Structure 1
Amino acid sequence: MTAQITVGGPELTQERRLVTEIPGPRSREILERKASAVARSVGHTLPIIADAAGGGTLVDVDGNSFIDLGSGIAVTSVGNSNPRVVNAVREQLDRFTHTAFTVVPYESYIAVAEKLNEITPGDFTKRTALFNSGSEAVENAVKVARRATGRQAIVAFEHSFHGRTNLAMALTAKSAPYKQGFGPFA
């Protein structure tokens, strides 16, 4: 069974489809450019270059279509190019692209914080802070926990990944490839 998804462009068929070897010729060409322009520490898992995505599929620059199992890594996935998300982003871009909330606050940040406070379980006063990355969120969670408890120790689980900043890497249990040769850590 296949479905068609249209998100501001051509329809993407929701199916897995291979039309070239992996990686295809255009992906190989772009990956060669990556090797000479991007730091080696910025790795990738799949040897393909994304061209379009929508619903649950991702299409590479060679026309191969994959089931997208990675777009939600480290984020809550609502499907790539979800029409509601795309429309919300377009509406926001028409108003302004960026202002630092800590300099000039804006209502949508507050509305997100209110919603998160509302849906977070528990009968206590809640406050929310939004961050630009998982590592920044982890590091701030550690600061908040240390301040609230007065304790310095932090527990991290085996097979955990917390991020690539220094403290987040210190908490990460996966030495390879994240921590090798990067110490000392906090």
Structure 2
Amino acid sequence: MTALPQERRVVTAIPGPKSQELQARRTAAVAAGVGSVLPVFTARAGGGIIEDVDGNRLIDFGSGIAVTSVGASAEAVVRRASAQLADFTHTCFMVTPYEGYVEVAEALAELTPGDHAKKSALFNSGAEAVENAVKIARAHTKRQAVVVFDRGYHGRTNLTMALTSKNMPYKHGFGPFAPEVYRVPVAYGSVSYT
């Protein structure tokens, strides 16, 4: 694995010709509802840099969303994922459990503050985790109402769109949404968010 130099480098117009070609293919094959922020196509990423298919290196201000805490292509993550893929690609823990799931739950219990009993459930996405948190809270409290912070983003499933406060582009025209969602303000500084 070659480390990607941690420097910005622009060698073509943005988007470059290969990204433009891929954008034309994307327009023909991918549903319009799947949006993108950048007009470039990623070839590889490492640390805090994305390299597009045209060889431009851009600072990854979005952290690929899912790699915020470790950076893109972190060596330890690549090594562990490769080892796991060599053993088996996937099995649903609810069908056939495996030790790695238990190890992660144990590690989370160890890292979570407090000396009380701790248990975890792992999910495929943030939206699935939020939906399950709401289900667990409702089952425990026997109440239906959910309180969320204003300005929050929670996901793109029906329930998580109900919890998300920003209408465009996340939820405009997709209702009706789950009832009993109440918003409270959160300190946000002087930045405008509409």
- For normalisation by structure 1, the TM-score amounts to 0.92
User: Which residue in the other structure is 2:42 paired with?
Assistant: 50
Letter in structure 2 aligned against 1:130? L
Moved over 6 A (4+): none
Q: 2:65 aligns with which of 73, 93, 96?
A: 73
State the identity %.
61
Q: Which residue of 1 aligns with 2:13?
A: 21
Structure 1 residue aligned with 2:137 = 145
Aligned equivalent of 2:181: none
Superposed CA RMSD in Å reads: 1.2
1:35 aligns with 2:17: no
Equivalence for 2:98: 106
C-alpha distance in 2, partners of 1:27/1:72? 18
- Please tell me whether the aligned partners of residues 161 and 171 of structure 1 are also in contact (alpha carbons under 8 angstroms): yes
Equivalent residues of 1:74, 1:134 under 8 A apart? no
- The Cα shift of 1:11 comes to 4.2
Name the SS of the counterpart of 1:53 in structure 2: strand
Query: TM-score, structure 2 length as denominator?
Result: 0.88
Structure 2 SS opposite 1:155: strand
CA distance in 1, matches of 2:157, 2:20: 30
**Structure 1 unaligned residues grouped into runs of 5+:** 1-7
Q: 1:75 to 1:19 in 2, by over 3 A?
A: closer
The 2-side partners of 1:99 and 1:183 are apart by: 34
1:126 maps to: 118
For structure 2, the 5+ residue unaligned runs are: 179-194
Question: Separation in 2 of the partners of 1:182 and 1:18?
Answer: 39
1:124-182 Cα offsets, whole Å, 9 max, x none, are 21110000001100000000011111111101111111000000111000100011000
